[in-house]
Amino acid sequence: MKGAAKPSARKNGEQRAQAAVACARCPLRRLDCFDAYANDRIDFIQSLKIGELHVDTDAEIIPEGAHGGHLYTLLSGWAFRFKTLSDGRRQILNFLLPGDFIGLQQKMSADATHGVRALSEVRLCVFPRDSLWEIHRTYPDLAYDVTWLAAHEEALVDETLLSVGRRNAAERIALLLLLLHQRASSLQLGDDSGAVPFPITQQHIADALGLSLVHTNKTLRRLEATGLHRIRGGRLSLPNPAALASLADHYGRTATITRPLI
């Protein structure tokens, strides 16, 4: 019942700007999990981009309840979206990996929204808040992609809601590990042994799945003992993904599809 959101000696933002990388040479774009864009589209995106933002581990990228603000594309590093109750209970809404688009909510929603915080050192591509409208007006197909991204992110949250609402601790953790591993793998973050970076603490897992830290630990321990996963040195490997999928009752498609990158 206590989603610890302890202030955690936050290293206070320290957001420094820096020379930007040209979109045409964006390292993410080369990955085959992203749609290939024609040059004019990439040039257009480039024209919207106003810079890059580098953020330290554990710093807030967007404060909870912020309105307006910029739009971002996560270039490197991991982050998460979250909401908190006034007594400190925290719920992580989903994790953000490279290629994810950030800030749509703050743009549209009138209600108090969620915060975004870095899990590792993070580099973000920055767009002014009105580029959303610019995109719609100028490049309908890009706008269509924005809609795709919004719908896709909602699908992720839907899946988590199913987990938190109806799966038990082991099932929830199994699915989370599975999905994170899939996402990281598709970004080719894995090494030759299939281990992907995992800058997430057990407290984060607990907060993402509506569990307590202690119970998360015990469940994690049990899963590892069964050989279902292994977390060492900030990396996650899954010796038996099929077993995890079966445990989580998750029969998602295996065929990897490409997605938009803005």
Binding site for DNA (CB under 7 A): 1-2, 8-9, 168-170, 201-203, 210-221, 233
Joined tokens for residue 245:
């999928």
Sheet holding 71-76, edge to edge: 16-18, 51-55, 122-127, 71-76, 101-102
Partner from DNA, a second copy, none binding residue 213, C-beta < 5-8 Å depending on class: DNA
Q: Are strands 90-96 and 79-84 parallel, antiparallel or unpaired?
A: antiparallel
* Residue 40 interacting entry, from a second copy, DNA, none, C-beta within 5 to 8 Å by type: none
As a whole number of angstroms, the longest Cα–Cα distance in the chain is 54
Work out how close the CB of 9 gets to a second copy at its nearest, in angstroms, rounded to a whole number: 23
Question: ∠ CA(196), CA(198), CA(203), 5° rounding?
Answer: 155
| Nearest C-alpha neighbor of 82 from the set 39, 106, 113 | 113
Instruction: Report the residue number, 92 or 126, with the smaller CB distance to DNA.
Output: 92
Computed from CA positions of residues 27, 97, 102, 63, in that sequence, does the dihedral angle turn out positive or negative? negative
Select the binding partner of residue 221 from DNA, a second copy, none (C-beta < 5 to 8 A, by kind).
DNA
List residues near a second copy by CB under 8 A: 1, 3, 81, 83, 85-87, 89-91, 93, 104-105, 107-114, 132-133, 136-137, 140-141, 143-144, 146-148, 150-155, 157-162, 164-168, 207, 209-210, 249, 251-253, 255, 257
- Taking the alpha carbons at both ends of the chain, their separation in whole angstroms is 38
Q: Which residue has the tokens 């400190």?
A: 88
- How many whole angstroms separate alpha carbon 185 and alpha carbon 1? 33
185 or 217, CB closer to DNA? 217
Q: How far apart are CA 207 and CA 248, in angstroms?
A: 18
Nearer of residues 233 and 251 to a second copy, judged by Cβ: 251
Choose the contact partner of 8 out of a second copy, DNA, none; CB within 5 to 8 A by kind. Answer: DNA
Closest contact distance (angstroms) between CB of 97 and a second copy is 16
Q: How many residues are present in the chain?
A: 262
C-beta of 21: minimal distance to DNA in Å? 26
Of 163, 161, 159, 158, the closest CA to residue 173 belongs to: 163
Complex with DNA: residue 9 or 22, whichever CB lies closer: 9
Give dist(CA 237, CA 190) in Å, integer: 9
Residue 224 or 249: the one with the smaller Cβ distance to a second copy is 249
Q: What is the closest distance, in whole angstroms, from the C-beta atom of residue 216 to DNA in the complex?
A: 7
CB of 171 to DNA, least distance (A): 8
Q: Residue 217 binds which entry of DNA, a second copy, none, with Cβ cut-offs from 5 to 8 Å by kind?
A: DNA
- Looking at the Cβ atoms of 78 and 101, the one nearer to DNA is 78
